[in-house]
Amino acid sequence: MLLDQISGVAPSWVDRLTLETLAASEAPAIRRHLGRLEEFDRYSRFFSAMSDENIDRYVERLDWGRMIAVGLYQDDDLIGIAELGWEKDGYPDIAEMAVTVDSAYRHRGIAGWLVKEVVERGRKAGVRRMEACWISGNDSIAKIMRGFGAQVWLNGSHWSGIAELD
């Protein structure tokens, strides 16, 4: 089953999980997922205070031609997202990674598993380097990046990491 690989235990809710490659049509689900994040989690993800209106604007501006995203659904609720996004149209060699998981599902390895899934798709699209930034205390992102062999360093008030994906 899906999360047997992640946690070694298959709770009953695992049978209701579906991994999807996300597209623009999932914008309402993405908006609901990001809207459920607490204030600190929003800051951790966006490096800024994010109101519901700002989240709406963020989702409206997602450029699906310059990103790949995967999402984990429990029934019809999107409970986690991992994204790789790049700056240049058609040139995804270097991509920035972001990941969020609903608070009720954290500390089960879901974030790391979602990143592994999006990286697999990213490699097929030509992504060769993954970058990420995170605030101190977000040890999950540091662990995920180190799992990909990333160089990690303190960069002013936040941490940065770069992982070669070849």
Overall pTM surpassing 0.85 (yes/no): yes
> Count of CB atoms within 10 A of residue 151's CB?
11
Q: Which fold has domain 4-128?
A: Aminopeptidase (3.40.630)
Is the pLDDT score of 69 beyond 60? Answer: yes
Is the pLDDT score of 11 beyond 70? Answer: no
Q: What is the pLDDT of residues 85-121, one digit of tens each?
A: 999 777 789 999 999 999 999 999 999 999 999 999 9
| Exposure of 52 in the CB half-sphere (CA atoms within 13 A) | 5
Structure tokens at 133: 């930034």
Q: What is the pLDDT of residues 115-143, one digit of tens each?
A: 999 999 999 999 999 999 999 988 899 99
